[in-house]
Amino acid sequence: MKKLVISKLFLYRYRFVIGFLVLGTAYITLLFGLPLLSPNGLSEAEMISASESYNLHFDSVFRDDIVDLPYRALQKLSIMTFGLSIYAVKLPSIIIGAMLGGLLILLLNRWFKNNVALLASILAVLSASFLYLAGSGTPLIMLVFWPTLLLWLGSKIQGVTKPKPMYCFVFAFALLASIFTPHLLYLAVFIVLFALLHPHLRFTIKTLPTFPLVLTIFIMIVGIAAMIMAAFINPSIISELLLAPGLSFRSFLTNIQTAFLPFFAWNTTLESPFLSPFIGLASIALAIIGLLSTTKGFFASRNSIASCLIVFTVFLSGLNPESAILILLPITILIAHGLRYILAKWYDLFPNNPYARISAFFPIGIFLGIMIIGGISHFLFGYRYVPMVANEFDDDLALIHDNLSAGTTIYVLDDDISYQFYKILEDKTSYQVESALPEASKLPSTFATLGLHEVPGEINYIITSPKYDNSDRIYMYTTNQVTEE
């Protein structure tokens, strides 16, 4: 009887390829199903982002409207194509999230062995925090996308005897595009300083071909000059991209506390779109192990970059608490370091016993399964049923589409943010959206209001939502029942 050789089996030889394919399929499926899962509705930040994106015009780009330009252009295209819906608002983040997940997998696979890269990728892209980021219809995801793209491109340049000029060009364009995301100009400065101070990276720069290096510097100079010209036209761009209005040292520290409390608190006590804990305890434990393991050989670029990124993230969060989302990138890298350290120690215990080495699969599989299932459950149910977080999202848009007939006049009297958002409905549908009530004689025979208001008419029926304290959200009025004195 022929002896069975495990290493020649198809599943064993292509186990990592199959693993990454299964991971990619699961991740893409979850991503495009996010609008149907959680969070159930849109937050105020998403409504602001959608209205600003829809009002983006081609000529304004050349004057002053350059902040978050790549994301806003994609979101405008999504709304114009699919109309104003929850899915259309979130679709740009879903697309960029798919790219971000792929880049993160490629980056980890570049820096670590296949087994570590696969396990770390599973924990990263299927975590509650990553799913929330990919399903949020705001430019927040760009704070993680650009650094991840730059790190992957940098890994394709550094450590290669003859780096391809194309990677240098793409790196320059990505660095240029990133500076139009608020506060990421500091990241560009950080990357340049890190490359000049780190001995390995400095050696890589010296070995680069002259033409790609000169062209890369030229592209960066042109981008900075364009940003300076836009700042002269509209000085407010400076505060949006670089500064925080009214910032003091005390407010700087307060911003840091506000930024990281939802990440590591075990009870959600603040009204915030972030569900606590944003990063699970098991992930933090792995990241701490990874951080300790990088102390040996700290000056290797992949070891020190995670620690430096954490310090940089803390600095950015002092300027803007939302920038703390960037910590997902260094945490993911440190989790990979932690897994690499644990697997290496296990293999060192049994250097010549293949059965003992393989047996590590079972506890690690159970551990990963608990983390993944717990994280996804935390995401699905937390954003729906934790009051402090669920109240940050409303489903008014879905209620309008499901319950109001075409041609209905809607009075949005709550605030200007809601009015600017729902005004988009006029361009894509036959709804009429107004911000103030006219005289009683000019009211249509039937109309709707968001929320209860004193209007000259009688309530015909009420559209309710489980996301509000009293359940009632949209009121349908009829004016033909008004009694004239």
Distance CA 49, CA 1 (A): 67
**Token pair of 349 as six digits:** 């215990």
Q: What is the DSSP string of 16-65?
A: HHHHHHHHHHHHHHHHHTGGGSSS-SEEHHHHHHHHHHHT--HHHHTTT-
Distance CA 196, CA 211 (A): 19
Distance CA 83, CA 79 (A): 5
One-letter amino acid for residue 190 of the chain: F
Torsion on CA atoms 447, 450, 455, 461, rounded to nearest 10? 60
Among 469, 422, 427, 420, which Cα is nearest to 449's? 422
Distance CA 323, CA 185 (A): 13
Which residues are CB-neighbours of 64 under 8 A, at least 6 positions away? 230, 233, 234, 236, 237
Q: What is the DSSP string of 204-237?
A: HHHHS-HHHHHHHHHHHHHHHHHHHHHHHH-THH
Distance CA 431, CA 85 (A): 14
What is the pLDDT tens value at each position of the chain, 485 positions in all?
A: 456 555 566 666 777 778 788 888 888 888 888 777 777 788 888 989 999 888 887 766 555 667 888 898 899 999 988 888 888 999 999 999 989 988 998 898 888 888 888 888 888 888 888 888 888 889 989 999 999 998 888 888 776 667 677 887 888 888 888 888 888 888 888 877 777 777 777 777 777 777 767 777 777 777 777 777 777 777 777 777 776 666 677 888 888 888 887 776 666 555 566 777 778 888 888 888 888 887 776 556 666 788 888 888 888 888 888 888 888 899 998 999 888 888 888 878 777 777 766 777 788 888 888 888 888 888 888 888 877 777 788 888 888 888 888 778 888 887 788 888 888 888 767 788 888 887 777 778 788 888 777 777 778 888 887 776 667 888 888 876 444 44
Angle formed by the axes of helices 301-319 and 328-349, nearest 10° = 150
Cis before 39 (ω within 30) = yes
What number of residues does the chain have?
485
The predicted pLDDT at position 148 comes to 92
Q: Model pTM?
A: 0.86
Domain ranges of the chain: 6-390, 395-478
**Token pair of 270 as six digits:** 């603040």
CA distances to 437, 440, 458, 479 from 483, in Å? 18, 12, 10, 9
CB 402 within 8 A of CB 478: no
Q: Is 415 left (phi over 0), alpha (psi -120 to 50) or beta?
A: beta
CB 288 within 8 A of CB 308: no
Please report where in the chains the tokens 């015909």 appear, as a residue: 460
